[in-house]
Amino acid sequence: ISQTSFSVGDEIIVDDILEDSTLSLTTDKSQYLPGSTLLITGFTTKAIPFEGLKFNVKDPNGKIIFTGSLYPTNGKFSTNVFLTTVNPVYGKYQIIGEYFDRSALASFEVIKDIKEEQAVSLWTDKEAYALGETVTITGRLNNVWVGFMDLEIIQTKNAALATSALGGGNSGFKISDIVKISGDGSFTYYFKIPDSNIRLGDYKISVSKEVGFASKTIRVVINPSEYVVSTDPLSLSTDKVIYDLGDVMTINGFIANITSSSSFQTSSVNISIFHEDGSPLEIVILPGHATSSDSTFAYTLTAIPDSSGRFSVQTNIMQNVFTEGSYKIKAEYRGLTKTTTVGIVDPLKLSDGPLLTLDKSVYGLGESVLLTGLLPPTGDNSVKGSLTKPDGSIVNFGATVDNQRFSWSWIAPITEKPLSIKLDDRSTSKTNYGIYKIHVSTASYGKDIFFKVSADPENDSLSLVPLYVSTEKSLYKAGEKLKVIGNIIKREQGSQGLVIPERVIIKVVDGKTPFKQIHEASVYPDQGGNFQSLFELPITVFSEGEYKVKALYSSKQAESTFTIANDYSFGSDEKLSLLLVTDKSDYYPGDLVTVSGKPNKLIYLEKFDVSVIQKIDGEITCGSFYCGKHVGPVTTIRPSSSGSFSHQIQLSDSPSSVGSYEITVDAGFETKSLMFDVVEKPIILESEKSPLTIIEKVNRILENKTSITTNEKTIDDNQVLPRVLSGSLLTAKADQSDVNLRISSESGVCIIGPDENCLVKDSTKKPGQIYESVSVDGVNLKVRYSGPDVYLEKFDILPESSTDFLPNVTWNVDVIKDDQASRFYYKINYKILE
């Protein structure tokens, strides 16, 4: 006999389900310098009365350097720990906390403080400022500590120049103050630039004491975003590029490290003017006016720099001294020299039509292109112009003529144009890089001038080659399509710019004697002079080796070389066999397996029969040897025109899919099998720093190319976002100088690598900084990099803001090497969304 009891009421009583309490520890930063204060913060979801959090801080050697007990306030613990400067231990420290029956771990690093060799370091947050902005001055003492330093800020203007157009006169702006030195030797000071036009110019900032001296010059300009800081020890420029006879020429310059004598005298800058052939410009004294036997003197000028190092001088371009042509201006200061070139024209002497001048011949993205022109005295009051871009599009413009002169400016595209990719044979590539043409015309004249937009304008040059040809790739596989691209500078006739319609002849020839011709095509170039064509590369025609592409246009010829790789055997005694391969050797549950194959010789095949089975432990496998009948479901695939096939197999996303698999392919003349393994997904570990962070690790990657995707995902029912991408490349010490990493964004921007166009090429660890800030595809990132040529090459990429996350993109990692052995590891730190 059994019995029970129950009751009936008007309310359902819900049992309370007790949840386990959690404990976490965090630090305010991940890295500290000796002498810094470490802030430890802990959180618990359940406070226990009269129970304290017991914690220890251990150095990298396992020695306890601090211990204590903390009591919670609203579930939060916090305390500060001073990191000693006496015999500091560098490396990774651990914080171990215990609260009742819960424990937590956190970690941080103590890194070496790298100081500059000079006694005092001085920095500002920017090099150029606008009126009304606040300047942040920072610095540090590197050798000896004192409590205070003397600070002086003065607007530097040369009083000897009075208030002329050279910017002279007494400025009247000066700050004298003291700055307090912190315990680690650093200091900070702020001041605001007055919002008045008389405060434009240079400001010299100096800090001094008996322990040392440092100074720095900043520039206040109308538009700081357009100001370019010169890194040359001596810079030189003029207010214009082209002058007319009778104009006034202003010569400006800057000395980066100006020196003065013990008597506070500043050395002068000697400025000389030379003809284009290098001979000095000379002045001839009239007879009877010479003060010596020599009646010819070199045309020289003297400039006195101000205390910041800036100098200016003016001279009249007199017709009895200067003639039409180009002149070199040379500045000399204490062994330093700098030259620049200007042009001088006679506006009344223009027998060859308009004179067109650009301020540069090669520009970068976003730079301003300035065109100036001088017309013959025809009475025209306006000009018409057109700008032809590399893609053939045309921008029309007009300009007003004033005293036979006109000017026009245009901003180059600020970003590279994304490639226009189509899936058919008429795919085109459009770019903002290349040669641009400006055509200027009046009722009686017409003239062209060219410039170039380049990704590296400092090291590039403008070459007006009439014909250029190349291939889209340098290496093709037999069976692919060859894409030939090129550019011409079109011939014109008459003064109206009438283009002669003429085609470009393209030939594809064998790279070996007798250079047999294989293909030929004729194409019309577009408005920008660009042309392209596609050619088939049949497997039976193009054997392995080098080939040439030749282009002919208007009696001009250009050529380019490309290489063909052909996996098929022709005319050999090699036995007919089936070649099989999978895209990877190991897969995860839920992955897509791609198997492809082909015969080693070009033969006719009707079909491939493909099957796949999961192997059972103890079974005998075929491996890569000849096998019998299929034992799994069969899929029939028709071969391509080249005799190859490709097939995809979807794996089950369940734990039972882990194991070994065998793919069997029957090609009619042979049946072969291939093995692959399905392994468990990478172990996801909780971060030692905080339970709010999850780390996903991938180890021991042998391939040269790796794609890493950072996107929002769900891990163990937690919605997470990527915060930090870290990677390490391990190689033998003997090979470390020959093996390097290159990390690129999804759009192809090189972020880290040895190439010149990479944003970070060397170690980011410098005095006062660990990370380097870069902008990639409109996203501001912080990059930490060990630098190349090291045994363990490491990097970290994270958002610049502590509240942001990495974008949902794919990062491409290339290991640049030949056949050296290396191992690549990476991990992604995800933060759990609360």
Q: What is the DSSP string of 523-535?
A: E---TTSEEEEEE
Q: Is the dihedral of CA 687, 691, 695, 696 positive or negative?
A: positive
Q: For residue 722, which of 711, 707, 732, 735 has the smallest C-alpha distance?
A: 711
Q: For residue 47, which of 26, 75, 24, 25 has the smallest C-alpha distance?
A: 75
pLDDT, residue 585, reads: 75
Under a CB-based contact definition with an 8 Å cutoff, are residues 299 and 281 in contact?
Answer: yes
Give CATH superfamily name and number for 467-565: Macroglobulin (MG2) domain (2.60.40.1930)
Q: In sequence order, what are the residues at sequence separation of 6 or more whose Cβ sits closer than 8 angstroms to the Cβ of residue 240?
A: 247, 249, 342
What confidence tier does 689 reach under pLDDT thresholds 50, 70, 90? very low
What confidence tier does 294 reach under pLDDT thresholds 50, 70, 90? low
In angstroms, the CA 559 to CA 553 distance is 12
pLDDT, residue 261, reads: 57
CATH number belonging to the domain at 23-110, selected among 3.30.379.10, 3.30.1740.10, 2.60.40.1930, 1.20.140.10: 2.60.40.1930
Residue 298 in tokens: 């070199």
pLDDT, residue 167, reads: 54
Residue 232 CA to its chain's centroid (Å): 23
Q: Is the dihedral of CA 456, 460, 466, 469 positive or negative?
A: negative
Of 358-372, 565-579, 652-666, which range is least confident? 565-579
Q: b vs e for 483-511, b when ≥16 Cβ sit within 10 Å of the residue's Cβ?
A: bbbbbbbbeeeeeeeeeeeeebebbbbbe
In angstroms, the CA 457 to CA 447 distance is 25
Under a CB-based contact definition with an 8 Å cutoff, are residues 251 and 312 in contact?
Answer: yes
What residues does 58 pair with on adjacent strands? 64, 94
Under a CB-based contact definition with an 8 Å cutoff, are residues 224 and 128 in contact?
Answer: yes
Q: How many helices (H) and strands (E) does the chain have?
A: 0, 64
| C-alpha dist (Å) from residue 666 to 578, 581, 599, 606, 628 | 9, 14, 11, 11, 9
* CATH architecture, range 355-390+406-453: Sandwich (2.60)
- The dotted CATH code for 120-223 is 2.60.40.10
Domain boundaries, the chain: 23-110, 120-223, 234-345, 355-390+406-453, 467-565, 578-678, 686-832
Q: Is the pLDDT of residue 202 over 90?
A: no
Under a CB-based contact definition with an 8 Å cutoff, are residues 501 and 488 in contact?
Answer: no
pLDDT, residue 15, reads: 47
Under a CB-based contact definition with an 8 Å cutoff, are residues 126 and 221 in contact?
Answer: no
pLDDT, residue 426, reads: 41
pLDDT, residue 601, reads: 75
Q: 132 vs 487, which has greater pLDDT?
A: 132
Q: Is the pLDDT of residue 348 over 70?
A: no
pLDDT, residue 768, reads: 64
Q: For residue 44, which of 26, 27, 58 has the smallest C-alpha distance?
A: 26
What residues does 218 pair with on adjacent strands? 203
Average pLDDT of the chain to the nearest whole number: 81
- The dotted CATH code for 578-678 is 2.60.40.10
Residue with tokens 């099998």, as numbered in its chain: 673
Of 21-30, 184-193, 221-230, which range is least confident? 221-230
Q: Tell me if 234-345 shares its fold with 467-565.
A: yes
- Average pLDDT for 387-394: 82
Q: Is the pLDDT of residue 297 over 70?
A: yes
In angstroms, the CA 818 to CA 816 distance is 7
Percent helix, strand and coil across the chain, each rounded to 5? 0, 50, 50
What confidence tier does 813 reach under pLDDT thresholds 50, 70, 90? very high
Residue 426 in tokens: 């008429």
Give pLDDT tens digits for 238-260: 988 888 888 899 998 888 887 76
Q: For residue 744, which of 811, 828, 790, 650 has the smallest C-alpha distance?
A: 811
| Residue 412: its H or E element | none
- Residue percentage of the chain with pLDDT more than 70: 84
At residue 409, φ and ψ (nearest 5 deg) are: -130, 155
Residue with tokens 């204490």, as numbered in its chain: 334
Give pLDDT tens digits for 599-641: 877 777 888 898 888 877 555 555 444 444 455 688 898 887 7
Q: 710 vs 617, which has greater pLDDT?
A: 710
What confidence tier does 206 reach under pLDDT thresholds 50, 70, 90? very high
In angstroms, the CA 688 to CA 442 distance is 74
DSSP code string of 787-825 = -SSSSEEEEEEEESSTT----SEEEEEEEE-SS--EEEE
At residue 738, φ and ψ (nearest 5 deg) are: -105, -5
Looking at residue 260, what DSSP letter applies?
B
What confidence tier does 124 reach under pLDDT thresholds 50, 70, 90? very high
In angstroms, the CA 739 to CA 791 distance is 10
pTM tops 0.85: no
Alpha-carbon Rg of the chain, whole angstroms? Answer: 37
pLDDT, residue 262, reads: 53
| C-alpha dist (Å) from residue 253 to 198, 302, 335, 338, 342 | 20, 12, 15, 9, 15
User: At 656, is the secondary structure helix, strand, or coil?
Assistant: helix
Q: Is the pLDDT of residue 694 over 90?
A: no
What is the maximum alpha-carbon separation in the chain? 147
- Average pLDDT for 725-730: 87
- The dotted CATH code for 686-832 is 2.60.120
Q: Is the pLDDT of residue 447 over 80?
A: yes
In angstroms, the CA 834 to CA 829 distance is 16
Under a CB-based contact definition with an 8 Å cutoff, are residues 783 and 797 in contact?
Answer: yes
Q: 705 vs 261, which has greater pLDDT?
A: 705
pLDDT, residue 625, reads: 42
Of 88-92, 378-382, 520-524, 621-625, which range is least confident? 621-625
pLDDT, residue 17, reads: 44
What confidence tier does 683 reach under pLDDT thresholds 50, 70, 90? low
CATH class of 234-345: mainly beta
Under a CB-based contact definition with an 8 Å cutoff, are residues 104 and 23 in contact?
Answer: yes
pLDDT, residue 11, reads: 55
Of 70-84, 283-297, 356-370, 471-485, which range is least confident? 283-297
3-state secondary structure 19-45: CCCCEEEEECCCEECCCCEEEEEEEEC
pLDDT, residue 408, reads: 92
Q: 701 vs 751, which has greater pLDDT?
A: 751
User: At 318, is the secondary structure helix, strand, or coil?
Assistant: coil
Under a CB-based contact definition with an 8 Å cutoff, are residues 404 and 244 in contact?
Answer: no
| C-alpha dist (Å) from residue 318 to 155, 243, 249, 315 | 34, 11, 11, 9
